């Protein structure tokens, strides 16, 4: 990675806000393992790259597309897609997006090197390593970590067309460039417009992709309603459900989607 700013680690206890009680602490010892935050890179006002270290990561059979659940306060956990940064088998990184005033956004805003972090996983979620064909990846700001994980597969995302629905392309573009994966630098960034009219362009592109190659794979992630709309478009264009890998990360008015 080539982050714009970083914070050096000093081992410390996590913030005391909303710490669990005795029962919660016992559950954490039984169900989770502890990692520590090795580095926090501020890639933009709303994106944070967090590097975690734990001996348990060395023992885990990590597959690109796996998920980890990080404790973000009290007994609240939020899901992230981890990926490797080439910093050792005991290290995993997550790329977080500060989205509203949700618990994960507050954690990302507060997290610092040296913090201790309770982790569930890695666990299976979406097996990106099984992709063996040309792929179209469609996501949003919450999907950048999944895109980086896709670039860690044997194909490395080399035959992948990346499309991201974003609020601010000028903010997202440098984040993709900092990822160090050349294929992401050519991603198509579609800025949101009122009423979702920007999705008409994305739907037209997906229909063209489906018409040009009936064997193509599709990875769809991000907002639940957008995914439903794009799935309908692909089915109408002849794509089969077996060609689509989908994962909803958020929905309007809801929090904590897995």
132 lies in the same domain as 246: yes
**Residue 183 DSSP symbol:** G
Q: Locate 42 and state its tokens.
A: 């501020």
Total domains present in the chain: 2
**Each residue's pLDDT tens digit, 230-252:** 999 999 999 999 999 999 999 98
| 26 within domain boundaries | yes
70 lies in the same domain as 93: yes
Residue numbers of the chain with a pLDDT score lower than 50: 7-16
Residue 174 has a CB neighbour count (10 Å cut-off) of: 14
Strand runs (DSSP E) across 74-151, as ranges? 76-80, 91-97, 116-123, 135-140
Domain containing 233: what range? 128-250
| 195 within domain boundaries | yes
- 206, with CB counted inside 10 A (0-12, 13-18, 19+), is buried
Beta carbons of 75 and 111 less than 8 angstroms apart? no
Last residue of a domain, one of 104, 123, 142: 123
86 lies in the same domain as 137: no
| 256 within domain boundaries | no
| Residue 218 belongs to domain with CATH number | 3.40.50.80
Beta carbons of 237 and 211 less than 8 angstroms apart? yes
109 lies in the same domain as 144: no
| 211 within domain boundaries | yes
Last residue of a domain, one of 98, 123, 148: 123
215 lies in the same domain as 139: yes
181 lies in the same domain as 206: yes
Residue 103's pLDDT is 87
Last residue of a domain, one of 63, 97, 123: 123
118 lies in the same domain as 132: no
143 lies in the same domain as 242: yes
106 lies in the same domain as 166: no
| 20 within domain boundaries | yes
156 lies in the same domain as 236: yes
| 257 within domain boundaries | no
Beta carbons of 148 and 85 less than 8 angstroms apart? no
The label of the residue with tokens 């393992």 reads 33
The label of the residue with tokens 């769809």 reads 220
| 141 within domain boundaries | yes
146 lies in the same domain as 58: no
40 lies in the same domain as 18: yes
| Residue 80 belongs to domain with CATH number | 2.40.30.10
| 63 within domain boundaries | yes
């Amino acid at each position: 990675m080539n982050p714009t700013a970083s914070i050096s680690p000093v081992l410390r206890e996590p913030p005391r806000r909303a710490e669990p009680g005795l029962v919660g602490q016992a559950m954490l010892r039984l169900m989770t393992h502890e990692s520590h935050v090795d580095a926090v890179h501020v890639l933009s006002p709303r994106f944070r790259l967090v590097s975690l270290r734990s001996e348990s990561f060395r023992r885990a059979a990590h597959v690109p597309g796996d998920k980890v659940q990080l404790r973000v306060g009290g007994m609240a956990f939020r899901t992230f897609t981890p990926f490797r940064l080439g910093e050792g088998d005991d290290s995993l990184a997550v790329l977080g997006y500060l989205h509203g005033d949700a618990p994960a956004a507050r954690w990302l805003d507060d997290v610092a090197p040296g913090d201790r972090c309770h982790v569930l996983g890695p666990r299976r979620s979406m097996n990106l390593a099984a992709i063996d064909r040309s792929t179209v990846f469609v996501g949003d700001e919450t999907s950048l970590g999944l895109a980086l994980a896709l670039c860690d597969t044997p194909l490395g995302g080399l035959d992948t067309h990346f499309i991201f629905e974003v609020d601010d392309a000028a903010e997202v573009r440098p984040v993709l460039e900092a990822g160090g994966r050349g294929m992401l630098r050519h991603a198509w960034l579609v800025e949101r417009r009122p009423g979702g009219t920007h999705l008409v362009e994305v739907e037209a592109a997906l229909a063209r992709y489906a018409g040009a190659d009936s064997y193509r794979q599709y990875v769809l992630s991000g907002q639940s309603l957008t995914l439903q709309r794009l799935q309908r478009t692909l089915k109408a264009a002849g794509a089969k459900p077996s060609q689509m890998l989908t994962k909803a990360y958020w929905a309007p008015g809801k929090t904590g989607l897995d």
